[in-house]
Amino acid sequence: MNWDRFFDIPSDLQHSWFGLIGLHLREALLPVLAGLVISLPLAQLCVRFRWLYPPVLWVTTVLYAVPSLAFFVLLIDYTGQTELTVMIPLTVYSLVVLVPAIVDGVRTVPQETLAAAKAMGFGPVRRYVQVQLPIAVPAIIAGLRVATVSSISLVSVGALIGNQGALGNMINDANIYNRPELALNAVLTMAVLAILADGALVAVRLLLTPWMPRRTSRRTTRKADRPDPAAAALEDAVR
Amino acid sequence: MIRIDSVTKRYPDGTVAVDRLSLEIPDRSITVLVGPSGCGKTTTLRMINRMVEPSEGTILLDGVDIQQQPVNTLRRSMGYVIQNAGLFQHRTILDNIATVPRMLGWGKEKSRARARELMERVGLDGALAKRYPYQLSGGQQQRVGVARALAADPPVLLMDEPFSAVDPVVRKGLQDELLRIQEELGKTIVFVTHDIDEAVKLGTMVAVMRTGGHLAQFAPPAELLSHPADAFVEDFLGADRGIRRLSFFPAAGLELLTAPVVPIDATAEQIAAHDTTDAPYLLVTDPDGKPLGWSEPQDLTAGDIKAEELLPCGRPFVPGTDSLRAALDCAVLSPTGWAVAVDADGGRVTGVVSQQTIAEAIRGAHAEGREDDGRPEGPADMKVAG
């Protein structure tokens, strides 16, 4: 291990270390955002039409089981060796976490709160946007934390389709040039990014939910942490 | 006036929640729907703001079918209060109360000013305005619920077991508060409860419903207690309806004795002058005339009466505002069997009355009640606190 060359990024990656971090974040976070945009209406449909939820859950789970490599093979004909080919599977993967998180969150809204909203003349859309979603924020953020952290680790598989893995490409280069410090750099950087992104989401939750009893909020946090995202991210990265 | 006209609610599985119910709910008064669970009282209430749509029949609000206007417009014109308040946990108390005014487009400042006004009206400390629901007690949350329902000043208030989930002491406070607010605002209130005591206490009219959505009796509470329509209503009213009915007879007519009342600094003559045939005990008062306790005359030494050696006199009653029930309760709880009457402002003794005298007054009131047969509004007008 050559520590002096820890930050010496090979030129074939075409980016500086910071450039790779920016690329990595974009490839990881855009899919989560896209997943959220898809999940919000999808989850509302699942709440309104209860029969829809099991098949939706089933489809998202099956899609999650499809290996990313298989996705790349399918997509590469259409989207080529681009970031998009990496981001589409990541978007699909985020649904498996986000849809149940939003559905469960919306369902935790107490019946009497909904009845009160209805009786005050809230229509279905107003009820969803002004009552159900705000109350579901803690659950939604818990879902986003898991989705974000796993997405940050999964981006590295993009290295398989040629230089689309951002920080993950460093692991590939570590192999080619026999420079293990690059792999260590990649793994540590991804872990730090995951931890920072997770912390940022916790901060957002605290900002959005001044109405939560602090004791309960800590309990919710712990529940959300159950598949410890940072640890899961490291495992994924190694895989 | 809300007029429920032979309304039936039948669910797809064939269950009949409400069966051909007809009710005329008078304006500016509290109408209570009471009955065991499954009697359709909540369903009936929810049909008034179309949270549940009737299968048959119509509901008229001031002569107009409620189906005539858009459902959300109808709902915004009716306040709705439910068990556990159903507050928006993500909004401050002030914003919770301002919900309907904001939706009606009153503007932020005007809505909040109105919300503050209502917090005061329902007895909430203004300091709670910026708090969130989880920081409030159950009773306070329920007050917020009432304030929120009143925010846009709707003529109709629907209340679905609003006080069922709070403890008895808080519940009594909320009930008294509701009666006070109603005195000020004069809303048309439809109130659902399973608690017959609550129904009798709050209702101007009480509709007793039985399982299957049938109306068993619709009457003022005093008439309900004196003339239950059938065995079901009688059973539902409970075993002590005779005692409870006494709440509707004022204690003002009781003949009070002042002879057995002596001040603590009484002279030997004052004690000796006491006639023991009427009352075997003397009530000793402090120099201000407030009751201290009972004693037998021979145990009192003029100039040396010790307050701590007297028998306790228990809780006194106020003849002007209390009922015969309160007077009887005082007499029963008093160690001498005599009730102490005091005036409302100072708590000074105005006289004492024996259980016997109260029993005679009860017999008299019942005799009057029987003469009132066919004029059921009689006892209702005599409704007094306590």
A99 pLDDT band, cuts 50/70/90, is very high
Higher pLDDT, residue B384 or A21 = A21
pLDDT at res. B99: 95
Structure tokens at B146: 């009432």
Asked, for residue A124, whether it belongs to a domain, the answer is yes
| Nearest C-alpha in B relative to A137 | B90
Confidence of residue B98 (pLDDT cuts 50, 70, 90): very high
Of A121, A122, A135, the CB nearest to B89: A135
3-state secondary structure of B58: strand
CB of B69 less than 8 A from some CB of A: no
For A28-70, what is each residue's pLDDT tens digit? 999 999 999 999 999 999 998 999 999 999 999 999 999 888 8
**Residue of chain A nearest B52, judged by CA positions:** A119
CB of B12 less than 8 A from some CB of A: no
- What is the spatial distance between Cα B164 and Cα B241, in angstroms, rounded to a whole number? 21
Q: pLDDT digit string (tens) for B334-360?
A: 988 899 999 988 889 999 999 999 999
Range of the domain at A51: 13-238
Confidence band for B276, pLDDT divided at 50, 70 and 90: low
C-beta neighbour count of A48 within 10 angstroms = 12
Query: Is A230 within a domain?
Result: yes
Q: Which regions of chain B carry the CATH code 3.10.580.10?
A: 261-362
| Number of domains making up chain A | 1
One of 3.40.190.10, 3.60.20.40, 3.30.70.20, 3.10.580.10 is the CATH number of B261-362, namely 3.10.580.10
Candidates A113, A119, A123; nearest CB to B88: A113
Indicate where chain B has its CATH 3.40.50.300 domain(s): 2-246
Q: Among A158-162, B64-68, B189-193, which stretch is predicted with the lowest mean pLDDT?
A: A158-162
- What was the ipTM of the complex prediction? 0.77
The residue among B293, B295, B294, B305 whose CA lies nearest residue B268 is: B305
Choose among B85, B91, B103: nearest Cβ to A121: B103
The Cα B172–Cα B50 span in angstroms is 30
Whether residue A9 has pLDDT greater than 80: yes
Q: How many CB atoms lie within 10 A of CB B279?
A: 21
Q: What's the average model confidence in pLDDT over B84-112?
A: 94
Q: What is the mean pLDDT of residues A76-90?
A: 90
Task: Name the average pLDDT for chain B.
Answer: 90
Q: What percent of chain B has pLDDT over 70?
A: 95
Evaluate if residue B362 carries a pLDDT over 60.
Answer: yes
Q: B2-246 sits in which CATH class?
A: alpha beta
pLDDT reported for residue A219: 45
Contact B380, B221 (CB under 8 A): yes
pTM of the model: 0.79
Q: Which residues on neighbouring strands pair with residue A97, listed in sequence order?
A: none
Geometric angle at alpha carbon A174, from A172 and A177, rounded to 5°: 105
Residue B86 and residue A118: Cβ atoms within 8 Å? no
Q: Which residues contact B381 (CB under 8 A, 6 or more apart)?
A: none
Distance (Å) from the alpha carbon of A187 to chain B's nearest alpha carbon = 39
pLDDT band at B273 (very low <50, low <70, confident <90, very high): confident
Write the CATH number for A194: 1.10.3720.10
Please provide the DSSP assignment of A9-75 as one string.
--GGG-S-HHHHHHHHHHHHHHHHHHHHHHHHHHHHHHHHSGGGHHHHHHHHHHHHHS-HHHHHHHH
CB contacts < 8 Å between A and B, how many? 69
Query: Which residues, in sequence order, are CB contacts of B280 under 8 Å at separation 6+?
Result: B296, B336
Please check whether residue A2 lies inside any domain of the structure: no
Residue that the structure tokens 């005093």 belong to: B222
User: Is A210 among the domain residues?
Assistant: yes
Within a domain: A109: yes
Considering only the beta carbons, identify the residue of B78, B88, B100 that sits closest to A131: B88
